Every structure is written in structure tokens, then in C-alpha cells.
Amino acid sequence: MGSTHTTHPDAQSDSAAQFQPARTSTKVEAREYEAEITALKAQISNYRMAFGNISQGVCLFDGSRKLVFCNDRYAELYRLRPEQVRPGTSLQDIIEARCAVGTSPVSAEEYLRLGEEINASGPPTSRLTELPDGRLIYISNQGMPGGGWVSTHEDVTEITTARALASERISLQLLIDLVPDYLWVKDAEGRFVVVNRALAVDTHYARTSDMIGTSDAQLHAPEIAQEFRAIEVEIMRSGIPMVDREELVTDAAGAQKWISSTKVPLRNDRNEVIGLVGIARDITARRLASALQAGQIKILEQIVADAPLEDVLDQVVLLTESQSTGLFCSLLLLDADGATLRRGAAPSVSEPFLGAAKGIRVGPYNASCGAAAHRREMVVVSDILSDPLWNDYRQVASAHGFRSCWSTPIISRKGDVLGTFAMYSRTVREPVKAEYQLIEFAARLAEIAIERTRATAA
């Protein structure tokens, strides 16, 4: 007969107590494992969200050239549907899908061969690819440990185009800045959209870009700006260019100059006038030289015709003043006593300033004219208020607003002093080269007139 084994209650209790810690430990581990899985899922979700929000397409392929992951941007770049870029899809299937929708620059076979060469090299690679639709995609590849690679794909069409346009514009700006004449482009509203350096410098702008958006209203006196606008509106309306028109312009500061302008309508690809292109040259020097030559001929004709000396000398002074803005001239004649300079011609200078009846005495400290006649050489005083030559005449000079004076003696062919020719300025300065030449020119013309009159009288 078989025997019966009975387990003592205490023994059962001991056995349960032995297994209780094991069951508790397993539950803890399970909870920790679940927590790790949850954390990983959250992390993966964050990664997916991050990759989904970047502007670049991102894809990851394993060693067998199958897709592990890609973001939505990658599919959008190449116009692929979500089911065509599921994890596990081969690179060949993806390229064939791209060929089908026209977003592969080469055939699938050529792309796969190129891919093998790139990914076999090891170091990171990058290339710029142009798609059949004209978009430019910048691709960067990085090999992964154990095989495979990760790629980023960025559409740089706009960036590249903007850089090309910027480069083209910079090149154009450098080119037109080499042109010594003024060159500009205006829109239909008369605003500058392109200017060269010559125009910017002449209109006192530090950079050509500072002029963009301005108009003639900021550069010229109101009446001149209105006249220019009317001419340009007519050019754009009629389509007829204006060629080599000579214009006297006055800038915002009141300075005048002569320019020769050519303006032609600017058309778009539909032959519509959208603005105008202008080029102008400062011809002030040429106009002044022409006027000086004509004035000299006229004065010489007056001398030959024995015109009154006062009239001839007035013309000499007026001609000289017309050649330089902001200057006032006087011509003094030496009395027979050889000691006093009296007014000969000074249409722009009042009589009290020139000594009126008393005249100006010849002497080493008798203002610029008295000193020039005494020294028999040009005397330049750049600041009347501080120069000792003007101690006795400073008050009257200040009353007339004169701050500098340059005087040269008029000397006959025999070496006798006949008088002086002087220029006055309302600013503290010395004469420039052209003004030195102008003073000598006027003194020479005056000398001819004075000697002719004396010879006729004798």
C-alpha cells in the first residue's frame, strides 16, 4: 500500500515566503521596462517631430541600401507619396519612383552607380544637383558605423538664384562705377533704382545705395526738379529718347553747373516702358572755356575799336566773375602820383569798400591791393580778419562779408605798375589753380586795354 505524505502547514507558509520576493522583483522590473519603453517612444516621437520640422529632407539607409527613416520634407522634395518611402523600401525602388515623377537627374542605374561611388569613399561628401524641373538640391552624405548612410537634401534654388543676382548686381555696380560720367536708372515714378559712384559723389552721398529711392526733388532746386520730371514723363510717354541736351542745373545748395544729358526709355520683355536710363556729363568747364574765349574776343574787339576804357574794364571784371561762382572782383588803377590806387572797375563791389575818393595807398601793409602794388607780386590773404595787412581795412571788409582777398599787380610791358586786379571771397580760403590762372588772365587783358588807351591818348 502506498503511504500518504502530509505537508505541515508551517512548511507551506515557509515555501510561500521564499517565492514572494521573486514575484515582487519581477513586477518592479516589468514596470521599469515599461517605463523605459515609454520614454524611448516619447524620445522617438520628439526626434520625428524635430526631423519633421526642419527645412531639409533627411533620410537614413542601412547597409543593405534600404530605407530606415525619412522625414516628410524628403518626400515633398522629390514628390513621392508616403507609401513610396516606408521604412524597408529599397533605394532602387525610391529612385525608380523619382524617375517616374521626374525628380531624378539621371536614370536609376546611373544614380545607384553614383551612390556606390559616393558611399564607398568613407568621408562625408556633398554635391549640388539640378533636377529636371530646374530646382537645385544640395545633398550631404555621411557614412554610418557598420554600413549605411544618412543624407540631408536642401532646396537651395532661391538662395543660389539670389546669390547669382547679387553677384551680377555687384559686378554691374563695379562696372558702372568705372564710368566717369553720371549714369543712372529710374523707375516710372522718377525714383533712382541704379546710380553709379560719380553721380553719388557729386551729389554728396556717401554710398550709391543711399541714393536708391530718392528723386530729383532731393538733388535739385524745385523748379529744376519739376522741369526734369516733365521731360522724363514725355520721354516715357512718347518712347523718343533725348540725346545730348545741354542743361543748366542748380543743386539743392544753390551751386550751378552745365551738363549734357542723354535719356532713353527703359522697356521690359513685353516692350512696355517701365522707366528710363540716363547718362550725363559735366560740361561746365567746357562751357566756361568757350564763354571765356568768346568774352576775350569781344573785349579785344572793343579795345581795337577804341571803346571807353571804363566799359572795357567792366567787361574784363564781369567776364572774370562769370567764370567762378561766389567771387567778387575789382580792378584798381594807379594814379599818376604812383602812390594811390583808385577804382577802375568793380561792378559787384561797393565804392566805400574801395576807399571811395581817397582810394587805397600803395604800401607794404595797405591791404592786399596796396601790398601787391608795392611788392610787384601777387599777394594772397586767406583770412582777412587775422592778417595784419588788413588792420586798417578789416572793419569795412567785415561789413561787406569778405573773408579772403587775392590781388595781383597789373604791370606794363615796360615794367611799370598800372594797377591791381583782385578777387574777394566770403569764405576763408586760398585760390585754386584755375583761379590763379584766371587772375593772371584778367590782369593781362586789363594791361592790354590800359596801354592801348594810353597809347591812343599819347
> Across the beta sheet with 417-425, what order do the strands follow?
360-361, 340-345, 327-334, 417-425, 404-411, 379-381
210: left (phi over 0), alpha (psi -120 to 50) or beta: alpha
- How far is it, in rounded angstroms, from Cα 215 to Cα 142? 54
Task: Tell me, yes or no, if the two domains 53-155 and 288-457 fold the same way.
Answer: yes
Q: What is the torsional sign of CA 381, 384, 385, 391?
A: positive
Local mean pLDDT, 10-residue blocks, the chain (458 residues): 48 51 64 71 65 82 89 92 93 93 90 70 79 90 84 84 63 82 93 92 88 90 89 94 88 76 92 93 89 93 93 95 90 92 89 70 93 96 95 88 95 94 95 93 95 87
Tens-place pLDDT, residues 417-446: 999 999 999 999 999 999 999 999 999 999
pLDDT at residue 163 in the model: 66
User: CA angle, 103 as apex, 102 and 109 as ends, to 5°?
Assistant: 90
Mind giving me the DSSP string for 173-223?
A: HHHHHT-SSEEEEEETTS-EEEE-HHHHHHTT-SSGGGGTT--GGGTB-HH
Q: Which three cell numbers stand for residue 134?
A: 530646374
- Fold observed for domain 53-155: Beta-Lactamase (3.30.450)
Tens-place pLDDT, residues 209-242: 899 999 999 888 888 889 999 999 999 999 999 9
Tens-place pLDDT, residues 318-342: 999 999 888 999 999 999 889 999 9
End-to-end CA distance of the chain: 184
* 3-class DSSP state of 91: helix
- How many residues are listed for the chain in this entry? 458
Domain ranges of the chain: 53-155, 161-282, 288-457
pLDDT at residue 3 in the model: 46
What count of other Cβ atoms lies within 10 Å of the Cβ of residue 99? 16
This prediction has a pTM of 0.56
pLDDT at residue 4 in the model: 46
pLDDT at residue 1 in the model: 44
- How far is it, in rounded angstroms, from Cα 107 to Cα 110? 5
Best CATH choice for the domain 161-282 from the list 3.40.309.10, 3.30.460.20, 3.40.50.300, 3.30.450.20: 3.30.450.20
User: CA angle, 220 as apex, 223 and 172 as ends, to 5°?
Assistant: 135
pLDDT at residue 294 in the model: 94
Best CATH choice for the domain 288-457 from the list 1.20.1560.10, 3.90.1640.10, 1.20.5.50, 3.30.450.40: 3.30.450.40
> Across the beta sheet with 192-195, what order do the strands follow?
192-195, 182-187, 273-282, 256-267, 242-250
